[in-house]
Structure 1
Amino acid sequence: MVLSGGALITSQALVARYAGAVETKDLFGKAAVGATKEPVSDIKGPLDILLVGIDPRDASSPPLSDSIIVVHIPKDLKQAYLFSIPRDLRVEIPPFPKGNFAGGTDKINSAMSYGSRLGNGKYDAAQGFDLLAKTVSKLTGIKEFDAGAIINFHGFKDIVDAMGGVTMTIDQNVKSEHLKPDGKTRDRRPECADHSCEHPYIGPQAEYKKGTYHLEGWQALDYVRQRYGLPRVDYDRQRHQQQFIKAMAEQALSKNVVTNPIKLDQVLRAAGDALIFDGNGHNVVDWGLALRNLRSDDMTLVKLPGSSLTSGGSYLGEQFDASAEEFFASVRNDSVASFLVDNPGFLQKL
Structure 2
Amino acid sequence: MSTTPASNGSSGRASVPNALPPSAGARARVSGASTPTSPATPGVYGKAAAPVAASGGGGGGVVPPRRPGGNEYPGRRKIRPRWGRIALVAGCAVIVLALLAGIGAYSYYRYVDAGLQRDDPFSQITDGRPAKVADGALNMLLLGSDSRDPDNKGKPGEWRTDTMIMLHIPSSHDKAYLVSMPRDLYVYIPKSKTTPYGDTKAKLNASFSWGGTPLTVQTIEKYSNVRMDHVLLIDFGGFKQVIDALGGIDMNIEADITSIHPPKRKFKKGMNHLNGDEALDYARQRYQFPDGDFARMRHQQQMMKAILDKAVSSGTVSNPAKLNSFLKAITKAMTVDKDFSLADMALQFRNLRSDDLTFLVSPHDGSKKINGEDVVVPNEAKAGALYTAMRTDKMADWAATNAPKPAASGSAQPSTKATTKK
TM-score scaled by length of structure 2? 0.64
- Per the alignment, residue 176 of structure 2 pairs with 80
Displacement, 1:66? 1.5
Instruction: State the AA in 2 paired with 1:310.
Output: K
**2: CA distance, partners of 1:149 / 1:345:** 26
* Distance change in 2, residues 1:170/1:19 (3 Å): same
* Distance change in 2, residues 1:131/1:330 (3 Å): same
Displacement, 1:45? 2.5
The question of whether the paired residues in 2 share the 8 Å contact of 1:340 and 1:346 is answered with: no
Match among 117, 121, 129 for residue 23 of structure 1: 117
The question of whether the paired residues in 1 share the 8 Å contact of 2:186 and 2:378 is answered with: no
Q: SS of the counterpart of 1:28?
A: helix
Pairing 1:184-223 to 2, within 5 Å after superposition: 205-223=264-282
Displacement, 1:218? 0.8
Match among 132, 135, 140 for residue 49 of structure 1: 140
- Per the alignment, residue 190 of structure 1 pairs with none
**1: CA distance, partners of 2:330 / 2:106:** 18
Pairing 1:217-256 to 2, within 5 Å after superposition: 217-256=276-315
* Distance change in 2, residues 1:259/1:291 (3 Å): closer
**2: CA distance, partners of 1:31 / 1:69:** 19
The question of whether the paired residues in 1 share the 8 Å contact of 2:305 and 2:354 is answered with: yes
The question of whether the paired residues in 2 share the 8 Å contact of 1:308 and 1:315 is answered with: no
Q: SS of the counterpart of 1:11?
A: helix
The question of whether the paired residues in 2 share the 8 Å contact of 1:90 and 1:316 is answered with: no
**2: CA distance, partners of 1:345 / 1:276:** 31
Give the number of the structure whose residues are more often strand, by fraction: 1
Matched, 1:166 2:224: no
Bigger CA radius of gyration = 2
Instruction: State the AA in 2 paired with 1:29.
Output: S
- Per the alignment, residue 134 of structure 1 pairs with 218
**1: CA distance, partners of 2:384 / 2:103:** 38
- Per the alignment, residue 90 of structure 1 pairs with 186
Q: SS of the counterpart of 1:340?
A: helix
Matched, 1:258 2:352: no
Matched, 1:145 2:228: yes
Unmatched 5+ stretches in structure 1:
1-7, 34-40, 116-127, 181-204
Matched, 1:273 2:332: yes
Deviations for 1:53-77, whole angstroms, at most 9, x for unmatched residues?
1122899533211211111111211
* Distance change in 2, residues 1:262/1:60 (3 Å): same
Unmatched 5+ stretches in structure 2:
1-101, 149-153, 407-412, 416-422
Match among 342, 345, 355 for residue 284 of structure 1: 342
**2: CA distance, partners of 1:91 / 1:240:** 24
Displacement, 1:221? 0.9
Q: SS of the counterpart of 2:158?
A: coil
State which drifts further: 297-306 or 54-63.
Answer: 54-63
The question of whether the paired residues in 2 share the 8 Å contact of 1:21 and 1:268 is answered with: no
* Distance change in 2, residues 1:10/1:79 (3 Å): farther
Instruction: State the AA in 2 paired with 1:271.
Output: I
Displacement, 1:272? 1.8
The question of whether the paired residues in 2 share the 8 Å contact of 1:159 and 1:267 is answered with: yes
Over aligned residues, Cα RMSD in angstroms?
Answer: 2.9
- Per the alignment, residue 184 of structure 1 pairs with none
Displacement, 1:287? 1.7
**2: CA distance, partners of 1:95 / 1:163:** 43
Instruction: State the AA in 1 paired with 2:168.
Output: H
